[in-house]
């Protein structure tokens, strides 16, 4: 069966579902999606405090203060951050105050230190202030009971900081999937081993595990399986016991030794697809014991591309994300491109931003085994089937990493 990219994506995404949530300490929650609404149990800031180093005053006392007409006040106390003021400020007085320190009762504003001059126990104020100027009020950022983060929010550094500010220690997050990875093929040699004639290095497994790591997912390295069905089947079943999803590479096309295909078809509801795309036509996808198995093609560029286009969004769905795909941008190509096949072509490009616009340069030969042109690339442009794109025409593009 030949599927369009959209059809393959729809089938994969509708087959996978979000994993059960788990409790995590906030320092271990970066990159997860919140599985609960988070309400503030405290307010922020917790008390009235100064946003400047300066002098707490009554604004009415310094109403007429100007550079050429300073107002002199007596300094009644010094309030460092973390201390509680001892005195109530009276008219004619100022309290020296540090950023973050509690405002004394009686004061309603802070004159910043730059607008003052200290002379022993007096201070000259050269600038008027309004009531509440340079003052942070309790709850002005967050009030007790506020919904600070809804379920579904991605936890980034600022969310971790906010939770700490609110004394939240543990939260419920959606689990990031743990994924087992297997390479298949009798030609594969692992790192460091002798490369005997006819063998190549297994690059896919390391590439896939790196893609998983980039997403924050744990991987389980199941190593290289040759092309023996029994061996592949045992490794696969073992992987499924330990992982939430499984990725194989190689062995899913129409070759005589495409044994992953026969193993997977015995195990469960696996579909073998030819997706109308280049690279990455042969693929397998299905569920065994409710766990998704992604059979990626063996060619290195195909494997990485299929992961980007299908596996990453599916794993993001399992991890509770609502935005599953990378953003799409428009770019122009630096050369004419002809795609006279019935398959969408994902071309490796190096994209630059100039004066707010993206310009893409094809990074070299586009064979699905030519990993080097992917190393030179930072994005993929989409050339629809049977389409000719002229240099300078607009095409869709996605980055592998965060946008330029
Ligand atoms: P296959 O899909 O198994 O027919 O493999 C297609 C091509 O990808 C062949 O040239 C394989 O040698 C190559 N290949 C398969 N698996 C890997 C791998 N793990 N790392 C690098 N190349 C691979
Ligand atoms: Mg193979």
Query: Which residue ranges make up each domain of the chain?
Result: 2-20+176-318, 30-44+140-174, 49-136, 329-399
Q: Whose CA is nearest to atom 5 of ligand 1?
A: 298
175: phi then psi, degrees, rounded to nearest 5: -70, 135
Residue 401 has pLDDT above 90, yes or no: no
- Of the candidates 316, 261, 265, 307, the one whose C-alpha atom is nearest the C-alpha of residue 288 is 265
Q: How far is the CA of 195 from the centre of ligand 1 (A)?
A: 15
pLDDT of residue 203: 98
Topology annotation, domain 30-44+140-174: Molybdopterin biosynthesis moea protein, domain 2 (3.90.105)
- 170: β partners: 25
Topology annotation, domain 329-399: Beta-clip (2.40.340)
pLDDT of residue 137: 98
pTM (2 d.p.):
0.94
Q: Which ligand is nearest to the CA of 183?
A: 1
Per DSSP, the residues of 38-105 read EE-SS-BSSS-EESSSEEEE-GGGGTT-BTTB-EEEEEEEEE-TT----S---TTEEEEE-TTPBPPT
- Of the candidates 350, 358, 366, 352, the one whose C-alpha atom is nearest the C-alpha of residue 332 is 358
pLDDT of residue 261: 84
- pLDDT digit string, tens, across residues 356-399: 999 999 999 999 999 999 999 999 999 999 999 999 999 999 99
Q: How far is the CA of 264 from the centre of ligand 2 (A)?
A: 14
pLDDT of residue 116: 98
Q: How far is the CA of 185 from the centre of ligand 2 (A)?
A: 4
pLDDT band with cut points at 50, 70 and 90 for residue 402: confident
- pLDDT digit string, tens, across residues 237-295: 999 999 999 999 999 987 777 888 889 888 888 888 899 999 999 999 999 999 999 99
pLDDT of residue 257: 76
pLDDT of residue 254: 79
Q: Whose CA is nearest to atom 14 of ligand 1?
A: 298
pLDDT band with cut points at 50, 70 and 90 for residue 28: very high
User: CB under 6 Å to ligand 1: residues?
Assistant: 183, 185, 187-188, 200, 202-205, 249-251, 253, 255, 297-300, 369
Q: Which ligand is nearest to the CA of 296?
A: 1
Residue among 250, 300, 301 to mutate when testing ligand 1 (max atoms within 8 A of CB): 250
Tokens encoding 184:
């298949």
118: phi then psi, degrees, rounded to nearest 5: -90, 135
Residues 6+ apart with CB under 8 A from 327: 398, 399, 403
pLDDT of residue 270: 85
Residue 403 has pLDDT above 80, yes or no: no
Q: Which ligand is nearest to the CA of 187?
A: 1
Tokens encoding 138:
């309790």
- pLDDT digit string, tens, across residues 289-325: 999 999 999 999 999 999 999 999 999 999 999 999 9
Q: How far is the CA of 88 from the centre of ligand 2 (A)?
A: 81
**Ligand 1 atom closest to 251 (CA):** 3
**Ligand 1 atom closest to 255 (CA):** 4
- Of the candidates 213, 189, 200, the one whose C-alpha atom is nearest the C-alpha of residue 369 is 200
Residue 83 has pLDDT above 80, yes or no: yes
Q: State which residues have CB under 5 angstroms from ligand 2, the bound ion.
A: 185, 250-251, 298
**Ligand 1 atom closest to 205 (CA):** 19
Pick the CATH number of 49-136 from 2.170.190.11, 1.20.810.10, 1.20.1430.10, 2.60.34.10: 2.170.190.11
Q: How far is the CA of 280 from the centre of ligand 2 (A)?
A: 14
- Domain 2-20+176-318, CATH 3.40.50.1860 — does that match? no
Q: What is the CA radius of gyration of the chain?
A: 31
Chain position carrying tokens 């494997």: 303
Q: How far is the CA of 178 from the centre of ligand 2 (A)?
A: 25
Mean pLDDT of 196-203: 98
Measured CA to CA in angstroms, residue 267 lies from 228, 229, 240, 245, 286 at distances of: 16, 12, 11, 14, 10
- pLDDT digit string, tens, across residues 101-129: 999 999 999 999 999 999 999 999 999 99
Q: Whose CA is nearest to atom 16 of ligand 1?
A: 298
Residue 233 has pLDDT above 80, yes or no: yes
pLDDT of residue 268: 80
- 75: β partners: 94
pLDDT band with cut points at 50, 70 and 90 for residue 38: very high
Measured CA to CA in angstroms, residue 42 lies from 84, 139, 147, 168, 195 at distances of: 19, 9, 11, 10, 62
- pLDDT digit string, tens, across residues 138-187: 999 999 999 999 999 999 999 999 999 999 999 999 999 999 999 999 99
Contact 87, 33 (CB under 8 A): no
pLDDT of residue 310: 98
In this structure, the chain runs to a length of 404
**Which contiguous run of DSSP H or E holds residue 157?**
helix 157-165
């Amino acid at each position: 069966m030949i599927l369009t990219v959209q059809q393959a994506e729809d089938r994969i995404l509708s087959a996978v579902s979000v994993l059960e949530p788990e409790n995590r300490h906030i320092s271990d929650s970066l990159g997860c999606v919140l599985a609960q609404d988070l309400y503030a149990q405290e307010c922020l800031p917790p008390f009235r405090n100064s946003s400047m180093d300066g002098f707490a005053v009554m604004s009415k006392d310094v109403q007429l203060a100007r550079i050429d007409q300073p107002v002199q006040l007596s300094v009644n106390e010094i309030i460092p951050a973390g201390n509680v003021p001892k005195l109530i400020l009276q008219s004619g007085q100022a309290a020296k105050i540090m950023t973050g320190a509690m405002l004394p009762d009686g004061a309603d504003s802070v004159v910043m230190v730059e607008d003052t001059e200290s002379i022993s126990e007096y201070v000259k104020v050269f600038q008027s202030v309004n009531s509440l100027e340079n003052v942070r009020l309790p709850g002005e950022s967050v009030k007790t009971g506020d919904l600070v983060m809804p379920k579904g929010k991605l936890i980034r550094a600022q969310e971790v900081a906010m939770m700490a500010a609110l004394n939240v220690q543990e939260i419920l997050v959606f689990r990031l999937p743990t994924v087992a990875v297997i390479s298949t093929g009798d030609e594969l040699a692992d790192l460091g081993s002798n490369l005997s004639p006819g063998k190549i290095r297994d690059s896919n497994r390391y590439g896939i595990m790196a893609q998983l790591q980039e997403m924050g997912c744990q991987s389980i390295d199941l190593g290289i399986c040759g092309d023996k069905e029994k061996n592949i089947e045992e490794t696969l079943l073992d992987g499924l016991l330990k992982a939430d999803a499984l990725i194989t590479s190689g062995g899913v096309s129409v070759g005589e030794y495409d044994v992953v295909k026969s193993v997977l078809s015995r195990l469960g509801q696996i579909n073998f697809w030819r997706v109308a795309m280049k690279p990455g036509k042969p693929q397998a996808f299905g569920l065994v014991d409710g766990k998704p198995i992604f059979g990626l093609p063996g060619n290195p560029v195909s494997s990485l591309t299929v992961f980007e286009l299908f596996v990453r969004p599916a794993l993001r769905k399992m991890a509770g994300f609502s935005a599953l795909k990378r953003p799409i941008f428009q770019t122009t190509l630096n050369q004419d491109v002809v795609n006279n096949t019935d398959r969408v072509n994902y071309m490796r490009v190096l994209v630059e931003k100039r004066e707010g616009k993206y310009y893409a340069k094809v990074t070299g030969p586009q064979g699905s085994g030519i990993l080097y042109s992917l190393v030179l690339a930072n994005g993929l442009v989409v050339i629809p089937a049977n389409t000719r794109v002229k240099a300078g025409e607009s095409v869709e593009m996605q980055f592998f990493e965060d946008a330029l």
